[in-house]
């Protein structure tokens, strides 16, 4: 069967690899000049580092299993701890379930909340008028039970690291369904999540960017090829690529769309208009990742922390920072050869698209200012890199899972058409790999599959971990 896969991110490449292994004739069409989608690595100061996703969830098997299949070594972060920059200081990040405290003693000691905020959290309001038989925002659920401060200073920065969104707009059912289940059973503060020494995250020596590079090897991938339209034909489908002055028509028996929500909506406008309308309603957040290459002496005393989160209520420019040299042994060792260390920041949340309009020098200046104020880091960088991810993170609004069900039902009416990617069941690398596997099965069966398990853990956004 002749299959066109549109989109050469991790989802599209995974699907193409699986289809090829099953004996199908597969071509991947990618609008940009590079493969990988939001998973990319570049040289900064002569050292190759990630400028998109830099980790994947370890407890979901899809990412590590795929890496093993590709012959890639999997490594884990160091034991350096993450912090929260709030209320004028760097503070320990208390153990939590997406910001809901799991240890009240840790919460009190951390100083993340005011005394009033801690007192409100410890007196959980079980009469909060939320009907738990339907979706609700994470922020509204937690605020009603534990107070605004828990949302503003714990939930917001964690969700911001994953979705670059706002807690009072993001669906609890789609992002943290455990919270709804816990709330239905009783107090959130009674949640029992056992401690574990097992690593939460995994990465690849040399960067997560190696994953799409390895996936693309041996595939027929055509980069710089924008697909402008998709139509049904008597035998399957046809897509139009290229400029109107030199357009090309490519026909196939089946099509798998692994593109973000907006371009997918445009491509489905004629073939699956109901799905297109639903997808057009999926909003996105744009973010920027700023990477600084610094002399090694600049970070003395910072090795014990992997970085920090920043609640939006504190009014800072950055929403997170990752100390790559402290978080990843491979990053420290790679930089040591050049006498450098790398620190990255992330900026931008949903509704803050103007952040992308700032020029590179201003974004670097804002990042350096906040790093100076947070940890005293004021040494001029040897090199910098600014990576803009326009529309990089889909926003799972309240009702998202119902919307996805409607999209799938509409696409199921079109044989040999399937969808994959971060717009549906999870934004993390393992989640989009799972979506690719499911889309392949749907494509070969001529039908769409049921809902997949949503990605439920922070630090799985395709733009990096909760530390940007």
Which of 152, 184, 216 is the last residue before a domain boundary?
A: 184
Q: Are residues 99 and 221 in the same domain?
A: no
Question: In 46-171, which ranges are E strands?
Answer: 47-50, 56-57, 81-86, 89-92, 96-97, 100-101
Q: Are residues 295 and 390 in the same domain?
A: yes
Q: Are residues 314 and 253 in the same domain?
A: no
**Number of structural domains in the chain:** 3
Residue 446 pLDDT class (50, 70, 90 cuts)? low
Residue-range definition of the domain harbouring residue 23: 2-35+207-282+396-446
Residue 131 pLDDT class (50, 70, 90 cuts)? low
Q: What is the pLDDT of residue 244?
A: 84
Q: Are residues 273 and 317 in the same domain?
A: no
Q: Are residues 263 and 289 in the same domain?
A: no
Q: What is the pLDDT of residue 197?
A: 76
| DSSP per-residue string spanning 157-171 | HHHHHHHS--TTTBB
Residue 74 lies in a domain: no
Which of 360, 394, 428 is the last residue before a domain boundary?
A: 394
Which helix or strand (DSSP H or E) is residue 148 part of?
helix 148-150
Which of 353, 374, 394 is the last residue before a domain boundary?
A: 394
Q: DSSP H helical segments within 186-323, as ranges?
A: 210-216, 261-267, 273-280
Q: Are residues 295 and 242 in the same domain?
A: no
Which CATH number is 103's domain given? 1.10.3110.10
CA distance 98 to 185: 18
pTM of this structure: 0.93
- Say how many C-beta atoms besides its own lie within 10 A of residue 73's C-beta: 12
Which CATH number is 273's domain given? 3.50.50.60
Residue 235 lies in a domain: yes
The tally of CA atoms less than 13 A away on the side-chain side of residue 270 is: 10
Which helix or strand (DSSP H or E) is residue 115 part of?
helix 115-122
Residue 64 lies in a domain: no
- CA distances to 58, 162, 306, 334, 395 from 98, in Å: 17, 10, 18, 32, 16
Q: Are residues 140 and 151 in the same domain?
A: yes
Instruction: Tell me if 209 sits within 8 A of 218, measured CB to CB.
Output: no
CA distance 374 to 220: 47
CA distance 462 to 319: 16
Which CATH number is 366's domain given? 3.90.660.20
Residue 190 pLDDT class (50, 70, 90 cuts)? confident
Residue 189 lies in a domain: no
Residue 455 lies in a domain: no
Q: Are residues 243 and 309 in the same domain?
A: no
- The Cα diameter of the chain in Å comes to 69
Instruction: Tell me if 113 sits within 8 A of 107, measured CB to CB.
Output: yes
Higher pLDDT, 24 or 452: 24
Using one digit for the tens of pLDDT, what is the confidence trace for 106-123? 999 999 999 999 999 999
Using one digit for the tens of pLDDT, what is the confidence trace for 47-99? 999 999 999 999 899 999 999 999 999 999 999 999 999 999 999 999 998 99
Q: Are residues 339 and 372 in the same domain?
A: yes
Using one digit for the tens of pLDDT, what is the confidence trace for 312-366? 999 999 999 999 999 999 999 999 999 999 999 999 999 999 888 999 999 999 9
Residue 157 pLDDT class (50, 70, 90 cuts)? very high
Q: Are residues 261 and 314 in the same domain?
A: no
Q: Are residues 313 and 406 in the same domain?
A: no
The tally of CA atoms less than 13 A away on the side-chain side of residue 180 is: 18
Q: What is the pLDDT of residue 457?
A: 44
Q: Are residues 289 and 389 in the same domain?
A: yes
């Amino acid at each position: 069967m002749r299959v066109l896969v549109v989109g050469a991110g991790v989802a599209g490449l995974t699907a193409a690899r699986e289809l090829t292994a099953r004996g199908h004739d597969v071509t991947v069409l990618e609008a940009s000049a590079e493969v990988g989608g939001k998973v990319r690595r570049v040289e900064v100061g002569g050292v190759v580092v990630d400028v998109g996703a830099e980790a994947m969830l370890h407890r979901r098997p899809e990412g590590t299993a795929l890496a093993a299949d590709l012959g890639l070594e999997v490594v884990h972060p160091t034991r350096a701890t993450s912090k929260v920059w709030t209320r004028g200081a760097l503070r320990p990040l208390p153990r939590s379930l997406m910001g809901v405290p799991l240890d009240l003693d840790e919460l009190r000691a951390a100083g993340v909340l005011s005394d009033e905020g801690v007192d409100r959290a410890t007196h959980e309001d079980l009469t909060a008028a939320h009907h738990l038989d339907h979706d609700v925002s994470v922020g509204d659920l937690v605020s009603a039970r534990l107070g605004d401060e828990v949302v503003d200073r714990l939930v917001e920065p964690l969700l911001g690291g994953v979705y670059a969104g706002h807690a009072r707009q993001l669906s609890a059912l789609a992002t943290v369904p455990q919270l709804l289940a816990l709330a239905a059973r009783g107090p959130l503060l009674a949640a029992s999540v056992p401690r574990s020494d097992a690593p939460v995250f995994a990465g690849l020596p040399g960067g997560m960017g190696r994953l799409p590079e390895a996936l693309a090897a041996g595939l027929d991938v055509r980069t710089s090829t924008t697909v402008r339209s998709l139509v049904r034909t008597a035998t399957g489908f046809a897509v139009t690529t290229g400029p109107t002055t030199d357009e090309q028509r490519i026909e196939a028996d089946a099509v798998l769309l692994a593109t973000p929500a907006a371009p997918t909506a445009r491509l489905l406008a004629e073939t699956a208009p109901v799905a297109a309308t639903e997808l057009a309603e999926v909003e996105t957040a744009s973010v920027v990742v700023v990477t600084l290459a610094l002399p090694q002496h600049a970070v003395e005393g910072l090795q014990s922390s992997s970085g920090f989160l920043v609640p939006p209520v504190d009014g800072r420019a950055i929403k997170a920072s990752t100390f790559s040299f402290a978080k990843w042994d491979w990053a420290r060792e790679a930089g040591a050869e050049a006498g450098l260390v790398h620190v990255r920041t992330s900026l931008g949340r949903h509704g803050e698209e103007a952040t992308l309009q700032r020029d590179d020098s201003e974004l670097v200046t804002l990042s350096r200012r906040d790093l100076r104020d947070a940890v005293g880091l004021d040494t001029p960088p040897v090199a910098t890199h600014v990576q803009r991810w326009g529309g990089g993170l889909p926003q799972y609004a309240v009702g998202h899972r119902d919307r996805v069900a409607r999209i799938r039902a509409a696409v199921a009416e079109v044989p040999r058409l399937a969808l994959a990617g971060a717009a549906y069941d999870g934004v993390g690398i393992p989640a989009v790999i799972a979506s690719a596997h499911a889309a392949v099965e749907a494509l070969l069966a001529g039908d769409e599959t049921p809902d997949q398990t949503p990605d439920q853990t922070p630090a799985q956004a395709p733009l990096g971990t909760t530390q940007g």
